[in-house]
Amino acid sequence: MDRKRVGEIDYLKSVCILLMIAFHLVFFSDKYPLVKQWVYTFHMPVFLILSGYLMRIEKPPREFLRAMGWIFIPYLIMETGYVVMSAVLPVRDKVDALSIGLVFDKLFLHPMGPYWYLHTFLLCGLTYYGVFRRLGRMKLVSCLLLLGTIYAVLADICHIVSLPNAMYFLAGVTLRRSETMFTSFFRPSLWALVPLAWLSTDVENLDCFTWGGVAIVYLVVSVLLKIYAILPLSVKCISDYIGAHTLILLVFSPVFTMLSKVWVPYLSFDSTGMLFLVVSVPFTVFGSFGVAWCIDRLGLSPWFWGKRRMLAPFRE
């Protein structure tokens, strides 16, 4: 894939990561269960499609495994910390009995919190690389069928990945391998709002692994791409920056969504939860970037991210 970033893709990533942060704020998301269900229908599927689409398997094995290793390191550190803190703090996903075996189970088989995405990314990515590097001379359809079969085995027999998540990753792989441009397949259109609204009124469609859910994923992307085309340049710059640094937000946001609980008693007078949302999302974004900045400044990024500096300077 070309190293030049695509504004539309970074924009979609920024929207999805901000939605993830918003609906990981329990005080807010519990007030809007149907909206949460609707958002969950598309926001991570879009992320997974983009992950499969953007993954570069043209790298030699050593370089590819090194890149995946530097995804695993922050995953290892943060998932371990998440499990340990879940045993200490009064959180929803409470761990009752902490042990080495439990930590290994959460790291390699059944991750907790938002870090399941990195677990899925690593498993699906390594499998994708292995199939296409070893069998790339086979017909494309055969390779894709084999990859889908392996994902189904990992999901239904091994139970270490979600089948819907793996299939959305596979959809992104299919787009990439068929040499279909992302912005050509997903056609920008505000008219997509009409069928989107109609499908969203039926709760049975609010599941990404139904035909209605798949249609919602497509229609949401179409609407978002059309909105991107009319956004002011300053907003595009911000979305481009956030979209280029979604890994930072994914890794560190749980720390700040958890810390946001501190001001729940002070903002609970707003029964809508909107004030809490407006305060907590920027707090989480800036806090996550702040941690990444500190890691850069302390010279720890080569040991945490595998690169000299993770946080690029913002240029409008």
Does the pLDDT value for residue 213 go beyond 80? yes
How many alpha carbons fall within 13 Å on the CB side of residue 173? Answer: 25
Question: What pLDDT, on the 0 to 100 scale, is given for residue 95?
Answer: 73
Residues 150-182 as b/e (b if ≥16 CB within 10 A, e otherwise) read bbbebbeeeeebbebbbbbbbbbbbbbbeeeeb
Over range 225-233, report the average pLDDT. 95
pLDDT tens readout for residues 106-149: 999 999 888 999 999 999 999 999 999 888 677 899 999 999 99
Question: What pLDDT, on the 0 to 100 scale, is given for residue 88?
Answer: 76
Question: What pLDDT, on the 0 to 100 scale, is given for residue 199?
Answer: 97
Report residue 170 as tokens: 């596979």
Q: What residues contact residue 83 under an 8 Å CB cut-off, 6+ apart? A: 95, 98, 102, 103, 106, 107, 112
Does the pLDDT value for residue 45 go beyond 70? yes
Question: What pLDDT, on the 0 to 100 scale, is given for residue 90?
Answer: 60
pLDDT band for position 2 (50/70/90)? very low
Cβ-contact 217, 208 below 8 angstroms: yes
Question: What pLDDT, on the 0 to 100 scale, is given for residue 5?
Answer: 79
Report pTM: 0.94
pLDDT band for position 1 (50/70/90)? very low
Does the pLDDT value for residue 289 go beyond 80? yes
Cβ-contact 123, 159 below 8 angstroms: no
CA-CA distance, 215 to 259, in Å (whole number)?
A: 36
204 to 37, 74, 214, 215, 228: CA distances (angstroms): 11, 36, 12, 13, 29
- In percent, the amount of the chain with pLDDT more than 70 equals 96
Report residue 26 as tokens: 């329990």
Report residue 238 as tokens: 């911000």
Question: What pLDDT, on the 0 to 100 scale, is given for residue 316?
Answer: 61
Over range 211-217, report the average pLDDT. 97
pLDDT tens readout for residues 75-107: 999 999 988 888 777 666 777 778 889 899 999
Question: What pLDDT, on the 0 to 100 scale, is given for residue 98?
Answer: 82
- In percent, the amount of the chain with pLDDT more than 90 equals 83
Over range 239-261, report the average pLDDT. 95
Over range 2-10, report the average pLDDT. 78
